[in-house]
């Protein structure tokens, strides 16, 4: 484990560092300074921005960020990765000016097991497995950005990764089957998002989206008590909401009711007789069986890379075979097996796509 280069008393770098360590810390501090300058530039031009780092990182206590928090009011959102499908309880902090990011606030409820941190049997460190965002986190962040842009009157199309799921929900809705997740929200939740004095009266159709944190997001010297600013979301009136919904149209008008794979399969099936289809499917299954039997060692090698907890769950699954078939078919989701190895979330947030 590398030695610490900072602590709570010396967040900008320990005074007894070696020359090489001082250079490393200095480069990091310079990067922090540039980052804060970019944040101020974005804020001055009303550009959406966010900055992330581990929740317990000393970065938040360094001089550039302390000065940043004294100059502008930042929103702050914390979440544990295990609440989005990760195997470990990693805490991440976002500072930002995107009020929809508050939907990402999910702290561990301790209702599940966590895999340990530290060094693994192969000599690598568990932290290396947690550098990338879990897929549900990335998906949720993208969803909140879309919702934020929509709330500002910017037309946004669904991300390509969300089209298939949105299509499925549209089919369920059109056949009166209760969807497990909400259809995409095309009418934004708020007509506008504004900043008001925390003591000022709010309109009847508005609600507070953030609360000030004196000493962190705002300097006690800059903002006196009773003058703190809060972020307020102003809802549409019923008449305004209906008018906006009519303008945008029904969600199913914007997406096909069937994924392209289903369309292709239907077209292919129409051209074949039942006899031909039976022969082709039998031959394909026979090919799969032979492929699995001839590569049992590769299947075992892949299973050996799994943690004991995941390996027990997936012991009956032929992951190598599935990965081979996906790649041979030309399917675009080449990371499906990697996602299966990590696990999927069983529930989704309100605005998850």
List average pLDDT for each run of 10 residues in the chain, which is 353 residues long: 82 89 92 94 91 89 92 88 77 88 83 64 54 75 83 69 51 48 60 75 75 41 56 84 80 59 84 90 90 89 83 86 86 80 59 42
CA gap 254, 150 in Å, rounded: 16
Phi, psi of 234 (to 5 degrees): -100, 120
- What pLDDT is recorded for position 206? 81
User: pTM of this prediction?
Assistant: 0.46
Q: How many other CB atoms are there within 10 angstroms of residue 65's CB atom? A: 23
- What pLDDT is recorded for position 119? 58
Under a CB-based contact definition with an 8 Å cutoff, are residues 169 and 183 in contact? yes
- What pLDDT is recorded for position 182? 44
CA end-to-end span of the chain: 39
Q: In 3-state terms, what secondary structure has residue 230?
A: strand
CA distances from 130 to 50, 122, 135, 209 (A): 20, 16, 12, 30
- What pLDDT is recorded for position 109? 79
- What pLDDT is recorded for position 181? 44
Under a CB-based contact definition with an 8 Å cutoff, are residues 78 and 107 in contact? yes
CA gap 163, 161 in Å, rounded: 6
- What pLDDT is recorded for position 353? 40
CA gap 133, 161 in Å, rounded: 16
CA gap 309, 227 in Å, rounded: 52
């Amino acid at each position: 484990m590398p030695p610490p280069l900072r602590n709570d008393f010396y967040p900008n770098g320990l005074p007894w560092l070696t020359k090489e360590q001082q250079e490393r810390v200095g480069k990091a501090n310079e990067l922090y300074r540039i980052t804060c300058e970019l944040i101020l530039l974005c804020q001055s031009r009303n550009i959406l921005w966010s900055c992330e780092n581990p929740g317990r990182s000393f970065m938040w206590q360094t001089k550039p960020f302390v000065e940043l928090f004294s100059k502008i009011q930042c929103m702050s959102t914390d979440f544990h990765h295990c609440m989005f499908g990760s195997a470990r309880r990693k805490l991440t902090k976002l500072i930002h000016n995107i009020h929809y990011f508050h939907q990402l606030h999910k702290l561990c409820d301790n209702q599940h097991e966590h895999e340990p941190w530290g060094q693994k049997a192969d000599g690598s460190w568990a932290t290396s497995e947690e550098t990338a965002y879990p897929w549900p986190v990335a998906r949720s962040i993208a969803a909140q950005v879309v919702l934020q842009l929509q709330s500002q009157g910017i037309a946004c199309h669904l991300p390509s990764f969300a089209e298939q799921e949105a299509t499925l929900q549209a089919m369920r809705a059109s056949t009166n089957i209760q969807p497990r997740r909400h259809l995409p929200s095309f009418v934004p939740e708020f007509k506008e998002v504004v900043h008001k004095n925390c003591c000022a009266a709010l309109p009847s159709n508005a609600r507070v989206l953030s609360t000030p944190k004196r000493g962190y997001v705002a300097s006690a010297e800059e903002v006196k008590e009773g003058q703190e600013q809060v972020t307020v979301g102003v809802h549409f009136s019923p008449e305004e909401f209906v008018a906006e919904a009519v303008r945008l149209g029904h969600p199913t008008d914007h997406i096909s009711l069937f994924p392209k794979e289903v369309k292709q399969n239907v077209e292919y099936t129409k051209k074949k007789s039942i006899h031909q289809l039976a022969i082709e499917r039998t031959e394909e299954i026979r090919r799969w069986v032979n492929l699995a039997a001839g590569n049992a060692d590769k299947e075992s090698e892949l299973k050996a890379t799994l943690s004991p907890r995941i390996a027990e769950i997936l012991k009956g699954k032929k992951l190598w075979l599935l990965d081979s078939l996906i790649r041979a078919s030309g399917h675009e989701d080449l990371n499906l097996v990697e996602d299966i190895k990590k696990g999927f979330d069983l529930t989704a947030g309100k605005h998850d796509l």
